[in-house]
Structure 1
Amino acid sequence: MRRTAKDTQVSTRRIGRRTLVLGGMQLGFVGLLAWRMRFLQVDQADQFRMLAEENRINMRLIPPSRGEIFDRNGIAIASNEPAYRITMVEEDAGDVDAVIDRLSQLVHLDEQDIARARAEMQRSAPFLPITLADRVSWTDVSRIAVNTPALPGITPEVGLSRNYPLNQDFAHVVGYVGPVSDYDLGKIEDPDPVLMIPRFQIGKVGLEAKMEDSLRGSAGAKRVEVNAVGRVMRELDRREGQAGANIQLTTDYLLQNYVQARLGEESAAAVVIDCTNGDILAIGSAPSFDPNLFVRGISVADYRMLTGNNFRPLANKTVQGIYPPGSTFKMVVALAGLEAGVITEHDTYYCNGHLEVSNRRFHCWRSGGHGSLNTVGSLRESCDVFYYQLALEVGIERISDMARRLGIGVPHDLPMSAVATGLAPTKEWKREVRGQEWVIGDTVNSSIGQGFVLASPMQLAVMTARIASGNNVTPRLIKTIDGVEQPSGAGESLGISASSLRTVREGMFEVSNARRGTGYGSRVIAENLRMAGKSGTSQVRNITAAERAMGVTSNADLPWERRDHALWVDYAPYDNPKVAVAVVVEHGGGGSSVAAPIARDITLQAIYDGDPPLDAYPAKDREHIAEQQKRLRALRPRIDREKMSRA
């Protein structure tokens, strides 16, 4: 059908309108694209430039140098030393097994280290270095350098590693460091990013753990350029971190070495405190261990030897161990009675060998009894019946209050692991903890440091220092932090009357210096250095009436774990107290026969600041002491003072 002119005109108008609409839409779309391109390229140029730069530049943490630990003379106890390690980059090595096999022909590789390295390779990117061996020698590094073409992906590196140059002497004080574990991170609410560095080491126990924040320091950082897959291409710049704080302790390394050596193979503990300011001069727990084993990665066999030892070498008995204080607690009861006015220095009690209380017989250690004794005599001869009777009049509340004033049952604030509180029991304590009422027999048992009473060797040393000085002496382990002196532990007056203290001190003096004193055999002869002390023997088993009737079995005839604990405390010189000492020998037997000789030797070593002259000892002991001094001198560390001292 032939189109008319009118139809053609209508069709043309329709096409024109459609063309305008489509053209407008296209123009609008192009305008929108142009606006968006301008927004991205101009308005947001800085943001995208920063994102591109961050994709190209990475920040890496630089581990800080750990603060070092020194003794009071500036001798290094925990230091940092250069250590060589061998690393491997998996993707550069190619055939990992073949490279490790060639490397093992040049240097010794521990199978455990190789297994750990393989496990790390599976978790890490193939371009990250993995440690194959740590603390290798310079000779090993030289061998690797010579054979570099045959060892693709292998690189010897140098870093800092913790070292404990005095080995076991300070193991229980300083502790040790080790790699950060998931358990460590789980205990920290907001972990420091530096803790995420592979195999970064932190304090695990002891001072290393308690002072971790100060010793760790703060990490540095470096900017490195990386490629598309994250491999480092070059280092652009770096900012070094801040080293951890150096810490100086109050302990003396020679006295500490002597204490550890004198305790020997016993399961024992000893503490030496300066009576004037609370400085801990030595704090030894035996047997000990080498903390370097843990830094380098202790073997399963070595760890089993430590944990399987009945003498518990990993435990710090000086602050973690709590024991019935035995007769060393009698000074507490005596002071409680004197201060309460229950007795005077002249009042006496009669001892016939036992005391009947509530149809139960409580025995004195001397079956025939001591007769009439005053306070000084009761301490001198350690009469149990005297203190049974005194405690019943004084009451447990006043006894426990005096115990806490003297430092027993009180947590001392020390930067050491698991510091025990001990126990000065009360009626309320037994009701709340044991769900039982206090009975009169509990008071009798407590009067001689048995029953519920518990104290650590540290608390016994503090008790003795407070009796000697009359002041609230508190133990201090840290002398300075980065050269800043820490607060003294001298303390204010205890508020105990001079007459009460004088009576108890006189009794302690007679323990060591009167012929009838329980510690007379371990006395000091030097007139101006005589010590005042007190022995203690705490039972770990019950003695039945049948056994007592037949004769109490001696400690020597009992298995080790059923023998009594041996304790001794003292201070010296008597007229001008300088040091207080506490010694506990687990299952050692008698305090006066086992613990007292050890404490006497330690006391003289501390006062003389070295081996005392033989004429300070009784004549009967001099030959033995001469041989002992010679043997212990051979165990002293050989110190290069220039190398090991603070710069």
Structure 2
Amino acid sequence: MKRSPKDTAESVRRITRRGLILGGGMVGFMGLLGARMRYMQVDQADEFRLLAEENRVNIRLIPPARGEIFDRNGRIIAHNEQAYRIVMVREDADDVDETIRRLSRLVQLDPDELEKALAEMKRSAPFLPITLADRVSWEDISRVAINAPALPGITPEVGLSRNYPLHDDFAHVVGYVGPVSDYDLSKMEDPDQVLRIPRFQIGKVGLEAKMEDELRGKAGARRVEVNAAGRVMRELSRQEGVEGTNLQLTIDHMLQNYAQARMADESAAAVVMDVRNGDILAIASTPSFDPNLFVRGISVGDYKALTENKYRPLANKTVQGTYPPGSTFKMVVALAGLEAGVVNADKTYYCPGHLTVSGRRFHCWKGGGHGHVNIEKSLQQSCDVFYYELAMEVGIERITEMAQRLGIGIRHDLPMSAVAQGLTPTKAWKQEVRGESWLIGDTVNSAIGQGFVLASPLQLAVMTARIATGRDVKPRLIKSIDTVEQEIAEAASLGINENHLRLVRHGMYQVSNSQRGTAYSNRIEPKEFRMAGKTGTSQVRNITAAERARGVFRNDQLPWERRDHALFVDFAPYDNPRIAVSIVVEHGSGGSTAAAPIARDITLQALFGDDPPLDAYPRKDHGRIQTQQEKLREMRPPEDGRGRSRA
């Protein structure tokens, strides 16, 4: 079909328009290409000329500054300090051995550290910087910088290293950092690239490890130009990293320091809690150690001294240690009996000094017995037979249920290493774990916190705080994150009858304030500060019938590791509870003689916020307490936080 002149003209116009658009696009593209070529060939000619002369660009990670850790009053617990170091990039060194030989003429290199560095170099990527010498002097840095042309691949740097200015006071809480290892990397699915920098420091134990992701921060990067000799010519660009998160703990350093110092001669643990919100004000384990020893790699001698110490300084006894709670468990049994309706304020059991159950004699600590005992007197004088009788009526299931309501047998959620669950046994537990049936004797043993029952000092402090308040108080260690105060959920009621709680609290008050109470000699004198407490002594050995027949050995006649553990728990003030305290002294022999004096002193220190006046103590103790306070004041760190280590 023949096209009309009109259609032909329209077709030509369309083709012409499309041609113009396409042609214009091509001209524009060529213009941009030409402008880019001019920019690269003229404006950046000098830079590319340098790069062409065997120079190249490296991307190097910038390790982030680790977040700092503070106590509740803002005192630094863990921070970063500048440290000079000398690093080598293997691919930039012509001859590694020769370069190191030249370096050793300028800087003294530790043979052991150098051997570790060479091992790291072999297993690391060739472009990663390896630290040859750490914490060197400014004079060493200057000598290396002056001789840089003769040291290809060698660079002096200023880095950050972790420091713990309060030494052993927070070692078990905060833990420590150390160089990242292959084992550390193997535990991560997708390790952050910054972790592959040799000797990069990460948290190993304690809060440093549990809060590693928050404390570490995010790495930055810098583009540097290096010449053929491996020397950095200039920095082309830099992207700063993100600093780690700062943490503020609930712990009061001065109280923590006092607790550590007060227990310095013992293998012991102490926990102080604010019963109103669960804040942990002190959580001390002795003996301790200086975490700075681990930051750069602890020596064989120092590590051996720690591991061979029978007092186990590396163990955090406050949360890792679990102990038979002894008579401090009697409040649990008492409340279980009261809630079950098995016992009331008036009901008594007769204590002749022992109780025979299934042909086995279970003894009271007082051989002559306590006579007729009600619930208050049973706590005041810590009568064992009362609780043997009560426990058999209540049953182990209800005792365990009450124990868990009060925080025993529960793994509390704290960012610390190896927080123990403890043990509150049941019939099903024994059958499953031991393949044995539950015996009535097991219930009798559990009644006085022996047998299978195990609790940590942290759990005992939680138990005491819950008895004091009747509420589900939960322990808290982190006060704020990057200055943002952490929310405190209101503690719910435990659902325990308030009259039953008052009865048990008054029994605990009698322990410390009645002349027949087991802790009367360690009372607090001012009425407004008086404490309610409970002594406990837990056996670590079986006393055979033959030994009883010839006379039971006193603890001071036994080797240290066979002596009983000493325990004490308390809350204060009795009329308006503010704090709860728990103490365990390993192999301390007796709760009233070893644990109660320490607990009373720490309780007073927490209530007064400083050394309490002498009239807070019984008059007979004034001279001893004054001497003790003077000694402990000498162990306090100065205001800048740089105190002596007691490790």
Distance of aligned partners of 1:549 and 1:182 in 2 relative to their CA distance in 1, 3 Å threshold: same
Find the counterpart in structure 2 of residue 25 from structure 1. Answer: none
Find the counterpart in structure 2 of residue 78 from structure 1. Answer: 78
- Structure 2: distance between partners of 1:171 and 1:102: 38
Residue 91, structure 1, aligned to residue 66, structure 2: no
Find the counterpart in structure 1 of residue 255 from structure 2. Answer: 255
* CA apart distance, 1:628: 0.8
Find the counterpart in structure 2 of residue 616 from structure 1. Answer: 616
Aligned pair partner of 1:102 in 105, 110, 134: 105
Residue 409, structure 1, aligned to residue 437, structure 2: no
* CA apart distance, 1:136: 2.5
Distance of aligned partners of 1:188 and 1:98 in 2 relative to their CA distance in 1, 3 Å threshold: closer
Letter of the aligned partner of 2:293 in structure 1? L
Residue 331, structure 1, aligned to residue 355, structure 2: no
- Structure 1: distance between partners of 2:638 and 2:255: 14
Find the counterpart in structure 1 of residue 65 from structure 2. Answer: 65
- Structure 1: distance between partners of 2:165 and 2:77: 6
Find the counterpart in structure 1 of residue 551 from structure 2. Answer: 551
* CA apart distance, 1:56: 6.2
Residue 470, structure 1, aligned to residue 470, structure 2: yes
Find the counterpart in structure 2 of residue 499 from structure 1. Answer: 499
Partner SS state of residue 237, structure 2: strand
- Indicate conservation of the 8 Å contact 1:92/1:127, yes or no: no
- Indicate conservation of the 8 Å contact 2:148/2:231, yes or no: no
- Indicate conservation of the 8 Å contact 1:474/1:489, yes or no: no
Q: Which ranges of structure 2 fall in alignment gaps of 5 or more residues? A: 1-32, 41-47, 643-647
- Structure 2: distance between partners of 1:471 and 1:223: 58
* CA apart distance, 1:229: 10
Distance of aligned partners of 1:630 and 1:66 in 2 relative to their CA distance in 1, 3 Å threshold: same
* CA apart distance, 1:125: 7.0
Deviates more, 1:177-186 or 1:190-199: 190-199
| Structure-to-structure mapping, 1:213-224, within 5 angstroms | 213-224=213-224
Find the counterpart in structure 2 of residue 298 from structure 1. Answer: 298
Letter of the aligned partner of 2:131 in structure 1? T
* CA apart distance, 1:123: 4.3
Deviates more, 1:444-453 or 1:59-68: 59-68
* CA apart distance, 1:393: 0.4
Letter of the aligned partner of 2:502 in structure 1? R
* CA apart distance, 1:84: 1.2
Find the counterpart in structure 2 of residue 38 from structure 1. Answer: none
Find the counterpart in structure 2 of residue 355 from structure 1. Answer: 355
Letter of the aligned partner of 1:621 in structure 2? D
| Structure-to-structure mapping, 1:176-215, within 5 angstroms | 176-215=176-215
- Indicate conservation of the 8 Å contact 2:88/2:132, yes or no: yes
Find the counterpart in structure 2 of residue 270 from structure 1. Answer: 270
- Indicate conservation of the 8 Å contact 2:152/2:229, yes or no: no
Partner SS state of residue 600, structure 2: helix
1:500-543 per-position Cα deviation (integer Å, ceiling 9, x unaligned): 00010000000001111000111111121010100000000000
Letter of the aligned partner of 2:529 in structure 1? L
- Structure 2: distance between partners of 1:94 and 1:340: 79
Distance of aligned partners of 1:234 and 1:149 in 2 relative to their CA distance in 1, 3 Å threshold: closer
Residue 600, structure 1, aligned to residue 568, structure 2: no
* CA apart distance, 1:358: 0.4
Find the counterpart in structure 1 of residue 319 from structure 2. Answer: 319
1:222-258 per-position Cα deviation (integer Å, ceiling 9, x unaligned): 2344679998654321111111110000000100100
* CA apart distance, 1:195: 1.1
- Indicate conservation of the 8 Å contact 1:404/1:410, yes or no: yes
* CA apart distance, 1:199: 1.3
- Indicate conservation of the 8 Å contact 2:224/2:236, yes or no: yes
- Structure 1: distance between partners of 2:395 and 2:491: 28
Distance of aligned partners of 1:561 and 1:299 in 2 relative to their CA distance in 1, 3 Å threshold: same
- Structure 2: distance between partners of 1:564 and 1:369: 21
- Structure 1: distance between partners of 2:494 and 2:208: 33
* CA apart distance, 1:93: 7.2
- Indicate conservation of the 8 Å contact 1:275/1:465, yes or no: yes
- Structure 2: distance between partners of 1:605 and 1:91: 64
Find the counterpart in structure 2 of residue 366 from structure 1. Answer: 366
- Structure 2: distance between partners of 1:411 and 1:299: 34
1:584-613 per-position Cα deviation (integer Å, ceiling 9, x unaligned): 011110011000000000000000001000
TM-score by length of 2: 0.87
Residue 435, structure 1, aligned to residue 438, structure 2: no
- Structure 2: distance between partners of 1:537 and 1:94: 64
Residue 445, structure 1, aligned to residue 441, structure 2: no
Residue 514, structure 1, aligned to residue 514, structure 2: yes
- Indicate conservation of the 8 Å contact 1:217/1:243, yes or no: yes
Larger Rg: 1
Residue 286, structure 1, aligned to residue 286, structure 2: yes
Distance of aligned partners of 1:144 and 1:634 in 2 relative to their CA distance in 1, 3 Å threshold: farther
Aligned length: 591
- Indicate conservation of the 8 Å contact 1:91/1:127, yes or no: no
Partner SS state of residue 343, structure 2: coil
- Identity rate, percent: 71
Find the counterpart in structure 2 of residue 158 from structure 1. Answer: 158
* CA apart distance, 1:221: 1.9
Partner SS state of residue 91, structure 1: coil
Partner SS state of residue 355, structure 1: strand
Find the counterpart in structure 1 of residue 20 from structure 2. Answer: none
1:305-335 per-position Cα deviation (integer Å, ceiling 9, x unaligned): 1111111111100000000000000000000
* CA apart distance, 1:101: 3.9
- Structure 2: distance between partners of 1:127 and 1:239: 19
- Indicate conservation of the 8 Å contact 1:71/1:251, yes or no: yes
- Indicate conservation of the 8 Å contact 2:129/2:197, yes or no: no
Find the counterpart in structure 1 of residue 43 from structure 2. Answer: none
- Structure 2: distance between partners of 1:394 and 1:120: 63
| Structure-to-structure mapping, 1:379-418, within 5 angstroms | 379-418=379-418
- Structure 2: distance between partners of 1:220 and 1:181: 21
Partner SS state of residue 94, structure 2: helix
Distance of aligned partners of 1:67 and 1:552 in 2 relative to their CA distance in 1, 3 Å threshold: same
Find the counterpart in structure 2 of residue 18 from structure 1. Answer: none
- Structure 1: distance between partners of 2:611 and 2:305: 34
- Structure 1: distance between partners of 2:595 and 2:488: 30
Deviates more, 1:151-160 or 1:390-399: 151-160
Distance of aligned partners of 1:438 and 1:508 in 2 relative to their CA distance in 1, 3 Å threshold: same
* CA apart distance, 1:141: 3.8
- Structure 2: distance between partners of 1:225 and 1:509: 74
* CA apart distance, 1:102: 1.6
Partner SS state of residue 85, structure 1: strand
* CA apart distance, 1:572: 0.5
Partner SS state of residue 86, structure 1: strand
TM-score by length of 1: 0.87
- Structure 2: distance between partners of 1:59 and 1:147: 24
| Structure-to-structure mapping, 1:485-496, within 5 angstroms | 485-488=485-488, 490-496=490-496
Letter of the aligned partner of 2:337 in structure 1? G
- Indicate conservation of the 8 Å contact 2:179/2:200, yes or no: yes
Deviates more, 1:349-358 or 1:230-239: 230-239
- Indicate conservation of the 8 Å contact 2:391/2:443, yes or no: yes
- Structure 2: distance between partners of 1:382 and 1:138: 65
- Indicate conservation of the 8 Å contact 1:93/1:154, yes or no: no
Letter of the aligned partner of 1:404 in structure 2? Q
Partner SS state of residue 570, structure 1: strand
- Indicate conservation of the 8 Å contact 1:319/1:456, yes or no: yes
